[in-house]
Every structure is written in C-alpha cells, then in structure tokens.
Amino acid sequence: MEKTINLTVNGETRSIAVDVNQTLLEVLREDLGLTGTKKGCNQGECGACTVLMDGKPVSSCLVLAVKADGKTVMTIEGVAKDGSLHPIQETFNQKGAIQCGFCTPGMILTTKNLLDKNPNPSLGEIKEAISGNICRCTGYVQIIEAITSLAKEKNARGGV
Ligand code: FES
Ligand code: FES
C-alpha cells in the first residue's frame, strides 16, 4: 500500500509516494538518491544510517517513512554549504577521524547535533553522544580529538 508523504530534505520540500513498509533510510537512498546515508546493520545498532529529523539524530533504518511525513530531515548531503565543507567535516579530515568513511556521515550528524546543543561538551558527554555510532576503524581516538578541537574552536568564537 502506498501513501504520499511530504518531507523537507536538506532544505528542499519533496512529495514522495512511499510504500507504508518502507523505511526512511530506503526512501533517502533509493527514492531520493541520497546514498551518503549508509545502511549498516539495518537494526538500529550501528548508527551508520543516522540523520537529523527535526534536528534530532535518528536511526533512519528504524523510522518508517510514513512517520517522517511533515518532518524536516538533514542528511550528510545537506551539511556542506555552497560547495565548502562544514567545519566538522574539515576537522574530521584534518584529525584523521575518517578512515574507511562508512561511519562518517552518521558520526558527523551526531557531532553536529551535540555541538549545536552543547558547545562545550565534557569528554564523557562526547563519548555518550557518539555511543550509538559504531566505528570499526579509528578506535574513536581521532574522532574524540576532532570533536574536542571543534568544541574549543567554537568556544573561542563565543559559541557560534
Ligand atoms: S543501519 Fe541503521 S542503525 Fe545500523
Ligand atoms: S572510519 Fe571506518 S567505520 Fe569509522
């Protein structure tokens, strides 16, 4: 059974006919071609499919697309602006926090949410925030360094 939903994805409003059983992850990747959102476990365990829905991180493999009707979604494709990488993307690059890159889109969106709501997270808060995003490559050290450095820069700019 199909239903038409309206979604604002990366600032653009889209009207899409979806199967009622389709997940948001499937719609993003297969219907909208936004393949930056990764499919890992497909069971809510790995965080590779993380997107921001109404500003909050969700595992898009666990969200039925019909439940996203009327919502605002940000995927990794919406993070860079005007052809320039977002500071989070730049810093992840510089700090070696990206190896195979599979976890990176979800990790960056989780980091964005963390720093938007808490510009000065403690180490414990950083670890807690990324605890749902599994990285099999970095051992998390470079990722935590990148987030710490971003927080310091943000504070130096007065939280902006
Ligand atoms: S693919 Fe969604 S949490 Fe792993
Ligand atoms: S960089 Fe490979 S899983 Fe994180």
Domains of the chain, by residue range, sit at 2-78, 87-156
Kindly state the helix (H) or strand (E) to which residue 19 belongs, with its residue range.
strand 12-19
Q: Which residues pair with 43 in a beta bridge?
A: none
Residue-level pLDDT at 159: 62
Class of domain 2-78: alpha beta
From 1.10.150.120, 1.10.10.370, 3.30.70.990, 3.40.50.1820, which CATH number describes the 87-156 domain? 1.10.150.120
**Atom number, ligand 1, closest to the C-alpha of residue 134:** 4
| pLDDT, average across residues 67-79 | 98
CA distances from 150 to 75, 79, 84, 141, 157 (A): 20, 15, 17, 14, 11
Distance 133 CA to ligand 2 centre (A): 10
Q: Return d(Cα 36, Cα 101) in angstroms, integer.
A: 10
What pLDDT score does 35 carry? 98
Q: Over the stretch 7-28, which tens digit does the pLDDT of each residue have?
A: 999 999 999 999 999 999 999 9
Q: What is the pLDDT of residue 155?
A: 75
Q: Which ligand approaches the C-alpha of residue 25 most closely?
A: 1
Q: Is the shortest distance between the CB of 48 and ligand 2 below 6 Å?
A: no
Asked, colleague to colleague, whether 2-78 and 87-156 share their fold, the answer is no
